[in-house]
A and B are shown apart, each in its own frame.
Chain A
Amino acid sequence: MSIEVLKEPSVIEGKPTFVEIDEQISAPIDKLPNIKYLIALGITSTMLLIGIICIGATFFYGIGLWGNNNPVGWAFDIINFVFWVGIGHAGTLISAILFLFRQKWRTGIARFAEGMTIFAVMTAALFPLIHVGRPWLAGYLFPYPNQHHLWVNFTSPLLWDVFAVSTYFTVSFVFWYIGLIPDFATLRDRTKSTIKKIIYSILSLGWRFSNRHWHNYEMIYLILAGFATPLVLSVHTIVSFDFAVSIMPGWHTTIFPPYFVAGAVFSGFAMVQNVLIIIRKIFNFEHIITLDTLEKMNKIMLATGTMVGYAYGMEFFIAWYSGSQFESFVFINRAFGPYAWAYWIMVSCNVVFPQLFWFRKIRRNIPIMFVIAVLVNVGMWFERFVIIVTSLAHDFMPSSWAYYKPTLVDFGILVGSFGLFFTLLLLFIKAMPVISIAEVKAVLDGAQPHHTHNGGHNGK
Chain B
Amino acid sequence: MENKIIYGVTGIFDTPDEIISAVKQVKSSGFERFDVHTPYPIHGMPKAMKLGTSPLGYFALVFGLTGAFAAFALMTYLMGYNYPLIISGKPFIPIPAFIPVTFEVTVLLASVGTVLAMLFLLFKFPNNSHPLHDTNYMKKVSSNKFGICIEAKDEKFSKMEVIEFLKKIGAKDIEVIYYDNDALNFKINIFEWKFVAFLVVSALVVSGATYIVLNKLMFAPPFNWMMGQHRIDAQVESKFFGKDNFSMRVAPAGTVARNTNQFKFSGQPELAEAKLINPLIPTEENLRKGMKKYDIYCSPCHGYHGIGDARLNGQFPNPPSLHSEKVRNWGDGHIFYVITEGQNSMPSYSSQLTNEEKWAIVLYVRALQRAMNAKEEDLK
* A residues whose Cβ falls under 8 Å from a Cβ of B: 17-19, 22, 59-60, 133-134, 136, 143, 149-151, 153-157, 159-160, 163-164, 167, 170-171, 174-175, 178, 182, 185-186, 188-190, 201-202, 205-220, 223-224, 227-228, 230-231, 234, 238, 241, 437-439, 441-442, 446-452, 456, 458-460
Contacts and interface: CB of A to CB of B under 8 A. Distances in A.
Contacts, number: 218
A451 B17 contact: yes
Contact of B112 (A174, A185, A460): A174
B343 interface: no
A130 B103 CA distance: 27
Given A189-B143, A210-B35, A205 B125 contact: yes
Given A171-B108, A208-B37, A189 B97 contact: no
Nearest to A218: B41
Nearest to A161: B100
A456 B44 contact: yes
Contacts of A19: 143-144
28 contacts: A17-B144, A19-B144, A153-B87, A154-B79, A155-B98, A205-B125, A206-B126, A206-B128, A206-B129, A208-B35, A208-B37, A214-B40, A223-B111, A230-B107, A231-B104, A234-B104, A241-B100, A438-B39, A438-B40, A441-B40, A442-B41, A447-B40, A449-B19, A449-B42, A449-B44, A452-B44, A458-B21, A459-B20
B85 to A, nearest CB: 8
A441 B39 contact: yes
Contacts of A212: 35, 49, 51
B79 A151 contact: yes
A185 B125 CA distance: 13
Interface in B1-58: 15-17, 19-21, 24-25, 35-47, 49, 51, 53-54, 56-57
B180 to A, nearest CB: 14
A149 B78 contact: no
B122 interface: yes
B43 A448 contact: yes
Interface of B: 15-17, 19-21, 24-25, 35-47, 49, 51, 53-54, 56-57, 60, 74-75, 78-79, 82-83, 85, 87-88, 90, 94, 97-98, 100-101, 103-105, 107-108, 110-112, 114-115, 118-119, 122-123, 125-130, 132-133, 138-139, 141-144, 218, 222-223, 225-226
B94 A143 contact: no
A134 B53 CA distance: 50
A234 B100 contact: yes
Contact of B20 (A188, A208, A234, A449): A449
Contacts of A157: 100
B105 A450 contact: no
B138 A231 contact: no
Given A136-B218, A174-B111, A208-B133, A219 B100 contact: no
B190 to A, nearest CB: 22
Nearest to B99: A160
- Listed residue (A17, A164, A213, A234) with the most chain B CB atoms within 10 angstroms of its CB: A213
